[in-house]
Amino acid sequence: MLTLKAFHIIFMVTWFAGLFYLPRLYIYHRAAEDRPSRERFETMEWRLWLIMTIGAGLTLISGLLLVALYWWPMPAWLHAKLVLVAGLIAFHAYCLRLNRLFREDRMPHSDRFLRWFNEAPAIALVGIVLLAVIKPF
């Protein structure tokens, strides 16, 4: 169990590295004024999205294995954690949409929106870690 947990945490760190950095790239991309810079950001965003998708997939697979092998029936804290994970999956999917909007030069969101968007993974991380460590219910 401890080995599976360790790999789950390693994969989660990989995923979160992307979740933290990709929205920051969007902020820089939005500020870019020349075409070569915008194209460079588009390449960076796409490659980072692919890497973090691998991390997300491995996180989800290892997490589902942990649930199936050790936490069935699921305790209440795990239900709450999975709600936050579902939110992160939606966030991840929306990042793909933002990648496409940037590539099509149709970004509808302001700098302010992107700065707030950038903070969402940190809030989810705090909740997930607190639930997993404290197991409050």
- Interior angle at CA 97, CA 38 and CA 84, nearest 5: 120
Residue 38 contacts residue 32 (beta carbons within 8 Å): yes
CA 16 to the chain's CA centroid = 5
Which residue ranges make up the annotated binding site for heme?
Answer: 8, 81
CA 130 to the chain's CA centroid = 17
In angstroms, what CA-CA distances link 127 with 72, 81, 82, 131? 21, 7, 11, 6
Which residue ranges make up the annotated binding site?
Answer: 8, 81
Residue 48 contacts residue 21 (beta carbons within 8 Å): yes
